Structure 1
Amino acid sequence: MSCVAIQEQIALGAAVPALEAHAISVSLPTWEDNIGYEEGDKRVVDAMVSGYPRFFIHLSIRKLAQICEQKFGVNGEQALLYPTRRIAEKCRDFMLDRSSQQGLAVPVRLVQFLITPESATASTATSVELHIVLFPSDAFPLAKQFWQHTGLGISSRLAEHCLAMLSDETAPSSPKLTSTPIFTKRNASNRHYAKQPSLSTPSPTLSPPPEPATETFDADHATYLEERYGRNLPVEAAAAAKRAMRRRIAGVLVHDSPTHWSQAGEQAIELGPSTRGVKEVSEDDVYLYSTGMTSIFSAHQLALGVMPSAKSICFGFPYTDTLKVLQKWGPGCHFFGHGLDKDIDELEALLAKEHAERPDAPPALALFTEFPSNPLLRCADLPRLRALADKYDFLIVVDETLGNFENVEVLPYADVVVSSLSKVFSGDANVMGGSLVLNPKGRHYDALKAHLAETYEDSYFGQDAIYMERNSRDFRRRAHIIDANTEAVCDFLRAHPETVKEVYYPKYTTAAHYEKCRVPGGGYGGLFSVTFHHPQASRAFFDAMPFFKGPSLGTNFTLACPYTILGHYLELDWAAGYGVEEGLVRVSVGMEDRELLLDGFQKALKAAEDAASRAQ
């Protein structure tokens, strides 16, 4: 399929991947479309049928929430839905705590709703215990912060499972989504990094259409999806699928080429020492979560539960919600936004000062860093950070999502490694997931393991796990193709310095630190960012790219976005202070034919050159 054909079939607001009921991205094909997304432009929001799940609440979840509001709500209360009681209690506690800091605590009610199938012989005969958080409608922006920052809400597949069990009499015949405005329009406050967000400040979400457009699925296409993605796999396969994924992530599968869900997850399969750089790692050191953000949130909760109270450290410019988690839970955090060696010098001075003032307690709780970082693809000097952690007795948590364990070994330097499985591990962009891995050689391993034994809940919905396991079977093969394609594209763009200002990519960016962790034969990942000498060139380049455009990354297909516009639209100057320019374009390269890829980028570069010439 040509690059042009790919672009022509994806309209503004359509699901990415196209016609996928559980797509985790949405098409925003022009620079102006992305600005419209941020500003709540009716032209854009009325077209949307999909979005990234922590920001755009899936239509099936919204339908189920409306049913719950009608059944249990009073005085116009709104609802968010969670899979376990403990998670619902965490949401309530967060809302009470944050609202109390600004005045009166918002009233929050919890309802447990047990949904059972009408027929015990139904193929979906699995009861669901749904936990409903109810609150006044004007407190929705606060409730949505918990949903977004933690990723702990129910998945769209779980929502559909519940809807399938509810009788026609229970469900509204034609739900009016406008009666429960799940999304609210942003105001002009500091969107992602406000130190004291108010109840009236909406979380960074997109206002959806009052009556969302829908995509139709003909019978042939539905059958194709069933066969391609394995929707007919038995739900009881979930336990084996999860076990297979934990082994895959632990690197203990001697032969990891299953053709059926039971193979990699069967009890008697041959296992060997871990290939993750710490041979003692086992599947029991791997914990699965519903989203990558949930694994980060859970790592922070784990640190708070095990270590003495102290501020965390956010090292490097992070994905937005990571910093929010470190700021809003616990004592706060120290932010070293550049993530360069000079920041380690400053960190070392800070730790020495804190230790001198409080010699009987660690000066920090845990250091969180991405390897590489998003979107600047910078890598910290992990051996040096490890030495500081050992000296001052704090944890190291590394997010390896962009590097991925096929390319880098970061576990030897970390106490905890987290990753978003929604990205290249899955590739198909039709399911969310996350993982957390403990380092058995870490100083605090026993305490971390014991705490997880008491607190870990497996709330990862079985059908999502089945999809994720199936998608990840060829993860290693896909990763190598994507790595090679990305390197070729980056080399091409970097060869045009007259137009291209900078290509951010681990091969060129803090390369020495990346090489310390790169595995033999490993590549540089599938993500890069590019900036241009002229703002007009950035827009022209993005608009002319004949590839999918929308949020997320790590997809089997090329996917691009104007990252700073999407992530920091209301704080552009703040982001620029850390090197994240307004005109930065982030590209996740896919598995397309390399000649087609290079041809598409050449056309986009030509558009950028022409725009820059006109601007001079």
Structure 2
Amino acid sequence: MSFGPQLPLGQRIPDSVHAVSVSIPTLEDVVGYEERRPATMAKLKSGYPRFIKHEYLLQIEERWKELFDRPDHSIWLTSSERVARELEAYLSHPKTKYLAHGGVSGLSYPPDTTLDLLAKRYLQHIGGHLSTRHAEDYLVAQKALPSRFLEESFEGDAAAKVLDHLAPLYKVSSPESIALAYTGMSAIYAAFRAVNDVQVPKGRRSWIKLGWLYTDTMHILDKLSPENSDNLSVYQVLNLEQLETTLKQRPDDFAGLITECPTNPLIQTPDLERIRELATKYGFYLILDPTINSPANVDVSPYADIITNSLTKYAGNQGDTILGATAVLDRCPEKEAILAKIHQYSEAPYPRDLQRLAAQIDGYAALIAKTNASTRKVVEYLKAHPAIKRVYWAHQPCSKTQYEAIARSPEAVGGVISFELKGELKTFHDRVRLPKGPSFGMQSSLLSPFIWLAHYELTTNQEGLAYLAAAGIPKDLIRFSIGAEPAEEIIAALAEAL
């Protein structure tokens, strides 16, 4: 078996200063990470960028406290001046101060733990933190770092190369119908704001969450929806009765519906044909996110008005770039107005991030082919193992027909699965010698106790556990992103732990 000893807590995945994942090898480490225990956090120099402040950002914050004579102030570094100003407006506090130096923007204020939490969550939800490469360039320019991290970077028109890869996947009429974004959440937030600008004047200010959405997508809808909105959450994507009943009762209320195809982490595919009919009938925008299995595997263009996609996954298959994209389909009502608004609201990618993505996007198709083939073998192994209670994947019987309607080929099963154990989580999780950490869709396999890592607070009280049960999500569900390693070696690592 090629998988060696457990990766130590805090090791970057991959071994790059710009890595988007980090090793969190034991369940106790996961709890320490979620509870921000000092002993755990001291070993983390990086993590998924929206959740852990990178060491480069921390260095700049310390320099700015001295530079701006704010030794005890909180400082938040943002992707742009606009995001810093929007954060300032969101906090609405008289002592916030916009800061800028060397092409970097941020916001400061006196010590205030309430503001700290609000600022942290706002920037996390909208994907507005400063890029690590932008921070690196600033520190090099200030002679605080000797040089950039050595990595391959595309030297031509990076945007054109990336758009040439994406346009056929989204099936847009031209690359101009795609807006590249600083992060995946920036892309989603831009689409959300654009739809609101068109729909709120018509009295449509509420949103529909279909399925268990990515945590920050849910937070955008929950916290940043227009005033007097009354959003609808439908967690059971295979039963549209609640959705149809509510639409009949409130036919003119909803601005849009967001869902993931398939869903994360249950890998279920809703009936998109029926949802498309409802969107047309009731006048709401249908925003579809195919990231979990990749738009290279599924084609949602026959149904979507807008496609949102995290390019951090699969396109950025080395696991060291944070970008996103939003595509507006020709069927989209008021397409030109929506597209203009999305371009207006999208935070443009930092040039070096885009160049790094362009340098690795040629490996996109190969990773998809490799993980599709390996997934079938891993699923067959797990389904036959007596220690496994259930496997969730694209071809699970409950939604196989709906998935096949959007799959680009019979082989296109995707690289992410989830599974339940019959026994306890901790023993298996701590034993398995596979990389364990956040994110998915990269060359390296990544295993995670999904709810513990993404929604830990729900595991700590009865109300949270009831919420999970209502959504049909087991607390100890394991999500597994299958990488480019040989399937036989992945299966051997699972077998050893089971």
State if a TM-score over 0.5 links the two structures. yes
Candidates 227, 241, 249, aligned match of 1:353 = 249
- Equivalent position to 2:474, from 562, 565, 581: 581
1:159 aligns with 2:135: yes
2:356 aligned partner = 467
The residue number in structure 2 matching 1:112 is: 100
In the alignment, the residues of structure 2 paired with residue 456 and residue 559 of structure 1 have an alpha-carbon distance, to the nearest angstrom, of 32
1:559 aligns with 2:446: yes
Find the counterpart in structure 1 of residue 122 from structure 2. 146
Residue 609 (structure 1) aligns with = none
| Residue 248 of structure 1: aligned partner | 165
What is the DSSP-based 3-state SS (H/G/I as helix, E as strand, rest coil) of the residue aligned with 1:13? coil
Letter in 1 for 2:335: Y
Offset of residue 337 of structure 1:
4.3
Deviations 1:203-252 (A, max 9, x none): xxxxxxxxxxxxxx9x9xx9xx83xx415x55xx4xx111111121111x
SS in 1 for 2:3: helix
Alpha carbons of structure 1 residues 106 and 485: separation in structure 2 relative to 1, 3 Å = farther
State whether structure 2 residue 9 is matched by structure 1 residue 21: no
Could you say which residue in structure 2 is the equivalent of 1:11?
A: 8
Aligned to 1:282: 174
Paired position in structure 1 for 2:152: 230
Q: Deviation digits for residues 356-408 of structure 1, max 9, x if unmatched?
A: xxxxxx32011000111111111111111111110011101111101212111
Q: Which has the higher contact order (CA 8 A, sep 6+)?
A: 2
Q: 1:75 to 1:50 in 2, by over 3 A?
A: closer
Distance in 1 between residues matched to 2:267 and 2:483, nearest whole Å: 17
* Distance change in 2, residues 1:450/1:431 (3 Å): closer
Q: Distance in 2 between matches of 1:542 and 1:592?
A: 19
Report deviation, 1:449.
Answer: 2.1
Match of 1:61 in 2: 57
**1:525-536 map, 5 Å:** 525-534=414-423, 536=424
Aligned position for 1:326: 221
Deviation at 1:333, TM superposition (A): 5.4
Q: 1:46 to 1:393 in 2, by over 3 A?
A: same
Amino acid at match of 2:490: L
Q: How does 1:183-222 map to 2 (within 5 A)?
A: none
Counterpart check, 1:490 vs 2:487: no
How many angstroms apart in 1 are the aligned matches of 2:267 and 2:94? 40
Structure 1 distance, partners of 2:167, 2:494, is 36
- Aligned equivalents of 2:71 and 2:19: distance in 1? 34
Correspondence 1:93-492 to 2 at 5 A:
93-96=89-92, 105=93, 107-113=95-101, 115=102, 128=103, 130-138=104-112, 139-167=115-143, 226=150, 229-231=151-153, 234=155, 237=156, 240-251=157-168, 276=170, 278=171, 280-308=172-200, 309-331=204-226, 332=229, 334-342=231-239, 344-355=240-251, 362-452=252-342, 455-456=344-345, 458-492=347-381
Letter in 2 for 1:144: K
Change (3 A) 1:476 1:154: same
- Give 1:452 shift: 3.5
Partner amino acid, structure 2, of 1:30 = T
Matched residue type, 1:440: D
User: Is contact 1:84–1:459 with CA below 8 Å preserved after alignment?
Assistant: no
Distance 1:589 1:450 in 2: 37
Measured after TM superposition, the shift of residue 315 of structure 1 is 0.4
Conserved 8 A contact 2:179-2:342: no
Contact 1:339 1:378 in 2 (8 A): no
Q: CA deviation at 1:31?
A: 1.6
Q: Which runs of 5+ in 2 are unaligned?
A: 460-464
CA contact (8 A) 2:238 2:269 kept: no
Retained in 2: the 8 A contact 1:317–1:338?
yes
Task: Compute the RMSD of aligned alpha carbons.
Answer: 2.1
Residue of 33, 36, 47 corresponding to 1:37: 33
Deviations 1:513-554 (A, max 9, x none): 1111111355111111111223x2x22222222210111111
Distance 1:39 1:527 in 2: 27
Partner letter of residue 389 of structure 2? K
Is the alpha carbon distance of 1:94 and 1:546 closer, same or farther for their aligned partners in structure 2, counting shifts above 3 Å?
same
The CA distance in 2 between the partners of 1:458 and 1:566, in whole Å, is 27
Distance 1:75 1:27, change over 3 A: closer
Question: Helix, strand or coil for the counterpart of 1:473?
Answer: helix
Question: Which letter does structure 1 place at the counterpart of 2:166?
Answer: I
| Aligned partner of residue 497 in structure 2, secondary structure | helix
Aligned length: 484
Partner AA of 1:339 in structure 2: Q
Structure 1 runs (4+) deviating above 3 angstroms are none
TM-score by length of 2: 0.92
Stretches of structure 1 that go unaligned for 5 or more consecutive residues are 97-104, 116-127, 172-216, 252-274, 356-361, 606-616
